[in-house]
Amino acid sequence: MINVSVIGASGYGGGEVVRLLVGHPEVRLAHLVGDTRAGEPFSDVFPNMRGVVDARTEPLDAARVAADSDVVFLALPNGMAMSLVPQLGERVKVIDLGADFRFRRGAAYERWYKMPHTAEGLLGQAVYGLPELHRADIRRARIVGNPGCYPVAALLAVAPFLANGLASPRGIVIDAKSGVSGAGRGTSSRTHFSEVNENVFAYGTPGHRHTGELEEELGAIAADVNLTFTPHLIPMTRGILATVYLHPVHQVTQAEAEAAFSEMYAGEPFVRILDGEHLPQTKATLGSNFCDVAVRVDPRSGMLIAFAAIDNLMKGAAGSAVQNMNLMCGFPEETGLRAPGLFP
Amino acid sequence: MINVSVIGASGYGGGEVVRLLVGHPEVRLAHLVGDTRAGEPFSDVFPNMRGVVDARTEPLDAARVAADSDVVFLALPNGMAMSLVPQLGERVKVIDLGADFRFRRGAAYERWYKMPHTAEGLLGQAVYGLPELHRADIRRARIVGNPGCYPVAALLAVAPFLANGLASPRGIVIDAKSGVSGAGRGTSSRTHFSEVNENVFAYGTPGHRHTGELEEELGAIAADVNLTFTPHLIPMTRGILATVYLHPVHQVTQAEAEAAFSEMYAGEPFVRILDGEHLPQTKATLGSNFCDVAVRVDPRSGMLIAFAAIDNLMKGAAGSAVQNMNLMCGFPEETGLRAPGLFP
Amino acid sequence: MINVSVIGASGYGGGEVVRLLVGHPEVRLAHLVGDTRAGEPFSDVFPNMRGVVDARTEPLDAARVAADSDVVFLALPNGMAMSLVPQLGERVKVIDLGADFRFRRGAAYERWYKMPHTAEGLLGQAVYGLPELHRADIRRARIVGNPGCYPVAALLAVAPFLANGLASPRGIVIDAKSGVSGAGRGTSSRTHFSEVNENVFAYGTPGHRHTGELEEELGAIAADVNLTFTPHLIPMTRGILATVYLHPVHQVTQAEAEAAFSEMYAGEPFVRILDGEHLPQTKATLGSNFCDVAVRVDPRSGMLIAFAAIDNLMKGAAGSAVQNMNLMCGFPEETGLRAPGLFP
Amino acid sequence: MINVSVIGASGYGGGEVVRLLVGHPEVRLAHLVGDTRAGEPFSDVFPNMRGVVDARTEPLDAARVAADSDVVFLALPNGMAMSLVPQLGERVKVIDLGADFRFRRGAAYERWYKMPHTAEGLLGQAVYGLPELHRADIRRARIVGNPGCYPVAALLAVAPFLANGLASPRGIVIDAKSGVSGAGRGTSSRTHFSEVNENVFAYGTPGHRHTGELEEELGAIAADVNLTFTPHLIPMTRGILATVYLHPVHQVTQAEAEAAFSEMYAGEPFVRILDGEHLPQTKATLGSNFCDVAVRVDPRSGMLIAFAAIDNLMKGAAGSAVQNMNLMCGFPEETGLRAPGLFP
C-alpha cells in the first residue's frame, strides 16, 4: 500500500484520478487538494463520489503533502507544477497531468506555452508518460510528464508507421475530434452548452500547443517530421478520435498496414487493434483506459488513414497517469484499470 | 466461485449484466446466449468489451445452460422468460430482467401485458427484486423478477412516505424522464437519433405498463393507492429522474420529510440521501448502482416533491440484478458493484 | 414601416428578436443596443446573422433610441427595464422580455424578485403579454410585460380547464422540462456543456420565480388557485415541455377534455391542438412560434394530464414579443411569424 | 406562380424542400408524393408542418404529377429517379436530390453506385447543381442533379484553390464531420440514438460514394486530381463541417489564401467568407442556406487548411435544390431562402 495525494482534485483530470485511485487495491488516499474549493466535501465537488469519498478537499500545504505521500498527482493549470515540484522534495514520485514536464528542454516549453520554464533542471529527471513509447524509462522515473489528450491518440495512431519506416515523416495530417470535457471545468462561451451543442468547429489552429509535443515525440522516432494538427470540438462530453493521414513510402497493402500496429502493440494491455471490418469509435472506450486503433489504405490516393479513439479523461489523462504510477511503483500495469467502458 | 450465464446478452440490459459480471470476483461466465447474433464474438456485439470478453455468443440451448450454470440472468422480450424458466429446472437460480415474474398473480400480468401467463405456478416462488423493499425474501428466492427501470426510481422516491404514513396514497403524481437506452437496442423512429435529439415528449400515457408494478408494490405498502404515471423521453443515453408529487396528510417540515428517507434507507448501500442543498441529477449516478434521492416541501402548496435519480441500465436493470444475485447467493451485497459513476 | 430598436441585443432573447425583425416586412431596424459587446458587429455576436445584420451593436443612449424608435424591445436582466422605460418617454411602445412589467402590483414583483419596484406608476399601463389571454388589452397597451418562458407553456396548458371550470384550481402540478438556452448566455456550471449534457435535474424548487406569474395569471381566471411548479433542465438547446396534472371537478371523457382546448383556442393562429393520437414534442416547434397542446384523461386515477410544447426562445420569448408588437401596431398578428419550425 | 411537386416528400430531404416551398412567394404546391406514407396528412409525417401543410401525401402517379407541375423535386433512393424522369415528359423541369443525375457519364455512376444507369441519354441534359460552379448551365438546364451533402461543403472549400492554381491537385485530404440527419430517416444501428450519441467515428472509408462526385467536379477544374475523403458521424442532427488539407504550389501568405475565396465568391449570395479571426461553425448555418468558409496557412507545415460549414439538409440538399429552381425558373436566386439560421 502506498499513500497518494492529488493536487488539483477539483478539476476534471484530478477528479478522474481520484475516481481511479478509489478502486486501486494498492493505494491509500492521503490528501485531496483543491484550492478553489478547499473545505468542501469532495463529494460536493464530484457528486458521483457521494458516499465514496466524502472527505473535504484541502488547501495546498506542499510540505504536508510531501511528508504524507509516496506519489503525488498534479492536475493544475500549466506553469504551476514547475514551481510546486521542487517543494515536494526528492523522495516523492510525481505525475504531472499538465504540460510542464512534457518537454525535454525548457526552450521548447517556452515556445509553445509562452512562459519561461523555471525548473529546467528537473526536466532531465522527467519522462514523457506514454507507456507505449517510453515504458522502460517510466519505470525508473521520479517525475513523469503525462501526455496531452490529443497527443495520446495521435501518437498511438502515427508512431508505428514512422517506427517501421512505412510512412513518410513529411506531410502528416492529424485531424482530431474531441469531446468538450477536454476544455476543462472552467466556464466559457466555448464550453457553454447552448453554443457547443449541435455544433462542430475547429479551434486553436494552426499552432495548437499540443503540436509541440507531437513534433518532439515523433521527432524522436523519425527525422525531419512535418505535420499539421487541427483539433475540433464536437458535442459530446468525453472522447477523442484522431484521424491521421500518412503518405506511405511505397505502395502498401491493407495487411502490411495492419502489421505495423500488431508489431508495435503486441502485448500492449491498453491498445486494441481493430481489423479491416471495424473502425474505432470513442463510445467503445468510454470510461476505460483503452485506445482503439485501426488503419485503412485508400486504394485511389494511396494514402494511409490511421484512426485512434480514446476517452480523453482516461487514456488521454487520468488513466494514463495511473498506468504510469503502476509502472513507477512496480505494480502490475493494469492494476485498477481493468474495468471495461460503458456501452451504450 | 459460481457459474453464471446470461440469456439475451446482445441487448443493452443483458450486455450490462455481462459487463458487471466480468468485474465480479465470485463469478465465472458460463454461457452468453444471444440468439439474434449467435456466432458473433461478444466484443463485436459490445465493442467496449473487446479484449475483455471475446468469446462468441451462442444460440439458446436451455438444457446446456441449465447444466452448466448456478445462476442464469434472462434479458428477453416480455413473454419469453415464462416459457424458458421451466426448462432450466429447479436447481438454477433465475433473475429475470423482463416483466414475466414481477407480478404476484397472472391476472395482473395479463392485464398489463395483454398476453396469458403460462407459468403462473412459478409466480409463488418469485420475488419482486427491489432489495430496499424485499431484501429478506430475495435472499431466499430461487426466481427474482427484476423491477422495471421506472419503478425502481419511482418506488424508491415514494415508498418511505407511504410506509410511515406521511403522505396520502391518493393523487400521487409520478413524472419520469428517461434516457433513450431504456427503449432498448431495437431501432424505431422513437429511438432514431435525428428525431429524439433536441426533443422531449411524453409517451405511453396514460397506461404505461410500469403502472401495474407501481400499483402492486405501493399497494402492498398502503391501502387504496391511486397514482398517475407519465414517462418522458429526453435526449440522453442513460438515466432516469423521477419527480414525484405527494399530498402530505398533515403539514410537514423539510426535516420531517427528509427523516422519512433516512429512516427507511439508513444502511442501504446504494441509496444516497441528498440534503436540502442538493437535488438529484442523473449524471451523478452514470454507470453506478446508486440511486440518489431528495425531497422538498413546497411551502405554498404544501405538497411534497420527492426525487430519485438512477442509471436506468444499472440500478434500473443490470445493477439491481447483480445486487439480487449477491443476496441470493450469500455474497456481500455490494460485491462487484462498488465502482462510482463517471463524472462528467 | 416602423422603426424598431432592441436593447439587450447580445443575449439570446434579444438576438432572437432581431432575427425575427429582419424578416418582418413592416419593420426597419433602428438601434441594436448591446452594452457588454458594444462596438462589435452584430454578426460577431450572432454568427448566424453574418451578411444579414453586420451593423455594430451600440452602447445605450436612451434618448437617441427613444427619438429614433416607434417600438423598443427590452431584453435585459430583471430590474433594469423599470429604470429604463421612464427614460424612453410616453410615445414609444415598449415590449419588455424581462419580469419588470409582468405583475399588476409592485408588491408581487418584490416578493418574487427580492427588489423594490421603482416604476410602480407604470404598472397600470402595462399588460401581461400573452395574446391568448389578453389580446384586446395588448392591442391598446403602450407597455407589454412579455411572459416568462415557463408560464407561456404552463398557462396555455392550464387556462382552458380553469376557464371552463372543468378542473379544480387546487392541487395543480406543473412539471416543466426546459432546454438550456432558457438559462441565458451567461456562463455557469449549470450551463457548462460537460455538466448538463447527459444529465437531467430539477432546480429552483420550490419557489422558482415564474411561480409568481403563474399564480397571478391563473388567479385571474379562477379563485383560490394552488399550484406546485417544478422546472427541470434537460440536455437540449431549445424547447420547453410543460406536463400539467389537474384534478377534474367531475369525471370527464377524453372528448370533453379536448373540447376545453378547442373552445378556447379556436382561431388562435399559434396554438395547435393535437388529437388523441399525438402528443406534443418540442422538436415540432423548433424555431417557430407555435405552441402544441394535448390532453389525456387517465382512466385509473381520473386526472387530466395536459401538455404544452414550445420553443422557449420563440413562443416563450421573442416570438410572443413580436406577436405582441403586431397587435400593438395593428399589423396582422402572424406577420413575420409564419415560418414553420425545423424538423428534424 | 409555378406549380411544384415533391416526390419523396416523407424523407428528410423532401420534407425540407416542402418547408422551403411553403415560404416561397412564387410557388404553389401541387403534389406531395410519399409512397410509404401515402394517405397520411403531411403534418403527421412532419409534425412541424401541422397547421401549415395538412394535405395528405399521395401515392405516386407520374402522369398526374407531370400534368400538374412545372417543376418536380425528386428525393428518392438512388436508382429510382432515372426510371421516373422519363415518365415526367420533356416539359417538366426536374431537380433530383439523389445521385442519378450527378455524373456526366453512366459509367462513373455505375462505378460508384454499383448499378447500371438506365437513362444515360438524359445525362447530357443534366447539370450538376452547384450554382457556385455551374450557375450559367443551371439556368438553362431542364434536369439538375443536386449535389451530395458532403460534396457541397468540400467543393466550396477546395475549388478556389484549384481554380487559381494556388494548391496542388495531388494529395488533397478532405476530413468531413456530419450530423446524423444526413443518413436519412431510415432506422439502423448507425442512427440509433443510444449508439450515436456521445460517439464519433469514421464510416464508409475508403471509397465513400461521394468521392466520385468530388473527383469528377474537381477534375473539371484541375488535371490529375488525387484526393482522400473520410466522412465521420458526430452526435448532432444537422450540419457538415469539411476540413480540407491542401499543398500549396509555393509558399503562400494568409492574405493570398483568403484572396482565393474572395475572388471566387465575391457576389455569391450564400457563401460567407470568414476572416482570420473566425472559423466556421455549423451552428451559424443551422436552418439557413449559407455556407461559411475560411482558410488558414499553417506556418510550420506550409499547408493550407480550408474549412466549409453548412446545414446538410439546406445548402447540402433542399436549400441548394430551391436555389437551383430559382435559377432554372428565372426568379431572383435568393427567393425563399433569405431566412438566417437559428442561433443558438
Per residue, what are the HEC states of chain D?
A: CEEEEEECCCCHHHHHHHHHHHCCCCEEEEEEECHHHCCCEHHHHCHHHCCCCCCECECCCHHHHHHHCCEEEECCCCCCHHHHHHHHCCCCEEEECCCCCCCCCHHHHHHHHCCCCCCHHHHCCEEECCHHHHHHHHHHCCEEECCCHHHHHHHHHHHHHHHCCCECCCCEEEEEEECHHHHCCCCCHHHEHHHHCCCCEECCCCCCCHHHHHHHHHHCCCCCCCEEEEEEECCCCCCEEEEEEECECCCCCHHHHHHHHHHHHCCCCCEEECCCCCCCEHHHHCCCCCEEEEEEECCCCCCEEEEEEECCCHHHHHHHHHHHHHHHHCCCCCCCCCCCCCCC
Residue D283: list chain C partners with CB under 8 A: 47-48
In Å, how far from its chain's centre is CA D331?
20
Closest CA to B217 of B260, B172, B177, B181: B172
Contact: C187, A187; criterion CB under 8 Å = yes
pLDDT band of residue A31 (cuts 50, 70, 90) is: very high
- Closest to D319 measured CA to CA, from D281, D285, D272: D285
For the segment C84-88, the average pLDDT, to the nearest whole number, is 97
* DSSP 8-state assignment for residue A45: H
- Does position A37 have pLDDT exceeding 90, yes or no? yes
The chains in contact with chain A, meaning 3 or more Cβ pairs closer than 8 Å, are B, C, D
Question: Between β-strands C201-202 and C271-273, what pairing exists: parallel, antiparallel or unpaired?
Answer: unpaired
- Catalytic residue chosen out of the listed positions D72, D84, D149, D305: D149
> A281 and B52: CB-CB below 8 Å?
no
E strand or H helix at B102, and its extent? Answer: none
Task: Render pLDDT for D308-340 as a digit per residue (tens, 0 to 9).
Answer: 999 999 999 999 999 999 999 999 999 999 999
Min distance A163 CA to chain D CA atoms (Å):
21
Residue contacts between A and C (CB atoms, under 8 Å): 56
The percentage of residues in chain D with a pLDDT greater than 90, rounded to a whole number, is 99
Give all chains having 3 or more CB-to-CB distances under 8 Å with chain B. Answer: A, C, D
Do C283 and D47 lie within an 8 Å CB cutoff?
yes
- CA A51 to chain B, closest CA, distance in angstroms equals 7
Which chain C residue is nearest to residue D292, measuring alpha carbons? C50
In sequence order, the 6+-apart residues with CB closer than 8 A to the CB of D256 are D166
CA distance B330 to B334: 11
Q: Which CATH number fits domain B150-312: 3.40.50.720, 3.10.20.340, 3.30.360.10, 3.50.50.60?
A: 3.30.360.10
Answer yes or no: are the C-beta atoms of A160 and A141 closer than 8 Å: no
For residue range C206-253, list pLDDT tens digits in order.
Answer: 999 999 999 999 999 999 999 999 999 999 999 999 999 999 999 999
Find chain D residues with C-beta within 8 A of A214's C-beta: none
Indicate the residue of C12, C180, C193 with minimum beta-carbon distance to A191: C193
Question: b/e for C100-117, b at 16 or more Cβ within 10 A?
Answer: bbbbbebebbeebbeeeb
Cell 494514402, residue located: A303
The overall average pLDDT reported for chain C is 97
Q: How many CA atoms lie within 13 A of B248 on its CB side?
A: 20
Mean pLDDT of A57-82: 98
Q: Which residues of chain D have a Cβ shorter than 8 Å from any chain B Cβ?
A: 12, 179-181, 185, 187-189, 191-194, 196-198, 235-237
List the single residue in D181, D340, D344 with the smallest CB-CB distance to C52: D340
Q: Let me know if B145 is exposed, middle or buried by CB neighbors in 10 A (0-12, 13-18, 19+).
A: buried
Cβ pair A182, A316 in contact under 8 A: yes
- % chain A with pLDDT above 70: 100
Residue B285 has pLDDT above 90, yes or no: yes
CB contacts of B344 in chain A (<8 Å) are: 12, 181, 237-238
- In 3D, which of A133, A143, A15, A145 has the Cα closest to residue A89? A143
Q: Are D236 and A235 in contact (CB under 8 A)?
A: yes
Q: B144-174: per-residue pLDDT in tens?
A: 999 999 999 999 999 999 999 999 999 999 9
Asked whether the predicted pLDDT for residue C35 surpasses 90, the reply is no
CA distances, D279 to each of A232, C40, D282 (Å): 11, 17, 10
Residue among C149, C174, C214, C308 flagged as catalytic: C149
The domain segmentation of chain C, as residue ranges, is 2-124, 150-312
Residue with cell 459487463: B19
pLDDT at C276: 85
Give strand pairing partners of A141.
Answer: none
A215, A227 contact by CB (below 8 A): yes
Tens digits of per-residue pLDDT, D172-215? 999 999 999 999 999 999 999 999 999 999 999 999 999 999 99
* Cβ proximity of B102 and B148 under 8 Å: yes
- Minimal C-alpha gap between D233 and chain A (Å): 10
What is the rounded CA–CA span in Å between residue D197 and residue B183? 14
Interface-testing mutation among B12, B180, B192, with chain D (most D C-beta atoms within 10 A)? B192
* Beta bridge pairs of residue A127: A144
Q: Which CATH architecture has domain A2-124?
A: 3-Layer(aba) Sandwich (3.40)
Whether A167 contacts A249, CB under 8 Å: yes
- Which single residue is written with the C-alpha cell 423535386? D73
Q: Is the confidence at residue A107, as pLDDT, over 90?
A: yes
Closest alpha carbon within chain A to D254: A206
CB C300 within 8 Å of CB C282: no
Check D194 against B235: CB less than 8 A apart: no
Interface test with B, best of D37, D181, D192 (most B CBs within 10 A): D192
Sign for the pseudo-dihedral over CA of B215, B220, B226, B232: negative
- B270 to chain D, closest Cα gap in Å: 25
Cell 383556442 belongs to residue: C265
pLDDT at D279 over 90: yes
**pLDDT computed for residue D88 by the predictor:** 97
State residue C82's pLDDT score. Answer: 97
pLDDT of amino acid B271: 98
Residue C183: closest CA among chain A residues belongs to which residue? A194
Q: How many other CB atoms are there within 10 angstroms of residue A122's CB atom?
A: 18
Of A112, A172, A175, A227, which to mutate for an interface test with D (greatest number of D Cβ within 10 Å)? A175
- Check if C291 is active-site: no
Partner chains of D (3+ C-beta pairs under 8 Å): A, B, C
Q: Which amino acid is at D301?
A: S
Q: Which residues make Cβ contacts (< 8 Å) with residue A305, sequence separation at least 6?
A: A243, A244, A245, A246, A295, A296, A297, A298, D202, D205, D206, D228, D230
Residue C132: name the closest of C286, C289, C335 by CA. C289
Catalytic residue selected from B133, B149, B167, B303: B149
Residue B276 has a pLDDT of 85
Q: How far apart are CA A220 and CA A218, in angstroms?
A: 5
pLDDT of residue A276: 85
Q: Could you tell me which of C276, C309, C304 has the C-alpha nearest to residue C162?
A: C304
For residue D18, list chain C residues with Cβ-Cβ distance below 8 A: none
Alpha-carbon distance of A155 to A166, in angstroms, equals: 15
Whole-model pTM over 0.80: yes
Position A35 pLDDT exceeds 90: no
pLDDT tens-digit series, residues B305-321: 999 999 999 999 999 99
As a whole number of angstroms, the distance between CA C307 and CA C245 comes to: 9
pLDDT digits over D298-310, tens only?
999 999 999 999 9
3-state secondary structure B289-315: CCEEEEEEECCCCCCEEEEEEECCCHH
Whole-number Cα distances in Å, C223 to B51, B142, C208, C227, D50: 66, 57, 22, 12, 35
Contact (CB, 8 A) for B170 and B228: no
Closest CA–CA distance from residue D235 to any residue of chain A (Å) = 6
Whether residue A119 is predicted with pLDDT greater than 90 in this model: the reply is yes
CB-CB under 8 Å, A344 with D194: yes
CA angle D174, D176, D179 (to 5 degrees): 170
Of the residues D12, D16, D44, D194, the best mutation for testing chain B's interface (the one with the most B CB atoms within 10 Å of its CB) is D194
pLDDT at A229 exceeding the cut of 90: yes
State how far residue D28 is from chain C, nearest Cα, in angstroms.
16
- What's the mean per-residue pLDDT of chain D? 97
Band of the pLDDT at B80, cuts 50, 70, 90? very high
How many whole angstroms separate alpha carbon C157 and alpha carbon C140? Answer: 26
Q: Is B180 within 8 Å of D192 (Cβ atoms)?
A: no
Q: Which residues of D touch A297 (CB under 8 A)?
A: 206
Chain A residues with beta carbon closer than 8 angstroms to that of B44: 278
Residue of A nearest to C189 (CA): A187
- Which of A152, A168, A178 lies closest to A227 in space, CA to CA? A168
Q: Is A336 left (phi over 0), alpha (psi -120 to 50) or beta?
A: left
3-state class of C165 per DSSP? Answer: coil
- Closest CB to D340 among C44, C48, C281: C48
Q: Which residue of C has its CA nearest to D312?
A: C344
CB contact under 8 A, A272 and B344: no
